[in-house]
Structure 1
Amino acid sequence: MGQTLSQPVVSKKSDEGQDERVLYGVSAMQGWRVGMEDAHAVVLDLQAQHLDKAHHPTDPDKRLSFFGVYDGHGGDRVALFAGENVHRIITQQAAFAEGILSRL
């Protein structure tokens, strides 16, 4: 699973944000691992970044937000890739462009 330190790294990296619908906070701590292995993604308005204005909901309550937390489990490469790409991959699917996900 990877090497560990003799003492945990307890300093935290935190962030927060909000829009008219959502208030969020996120915090990450390395802990006993030799390096930070985890990643996260926050996209408050997923459609605004990936749909043209004609398909973007004007009603804030119909907008989609994306929150992802990715645990590295012995390395950071997959977690970092997921944090940078999972939400983009979702928006490239036909179901997203057709609005199917917003009806779930």
Structure 2
Amino acid sequence: MKKIEKKVADAYFKERTRNIIIYLLIGFVASFGVVLFAEPLSRITVNGFPFHYFMGAQGAIVIFILLLFVNAKVSDSIDKKYGIDENKNVQLSEGKTVDH
């Protein structure tokens, strides 16, 4: 594995940490924020259910799964931006077997 300069590593982790904080805030708003505003949101319906009920039952889970995919995609692009992507790693062995 190649060495990474401290300046590049700090920028990399700063960007990754910022994204994680954003994802956590989105998750918090999707799960707890909707509950805080349940009364005004009850006028909105999704599939015949009040919006706050839908978010508590299914919406927060769907948002969490979408955030997982977004995180994977954004993390790959950040890795490429800083030269840490997996495609640049060299394979040392191909795992060949010996036949007797």
TM-score by length of 2: 0.30
**Bigger share in helix:** 2
**Bigger share in strand:** 1
Larger radius of gyration: 2
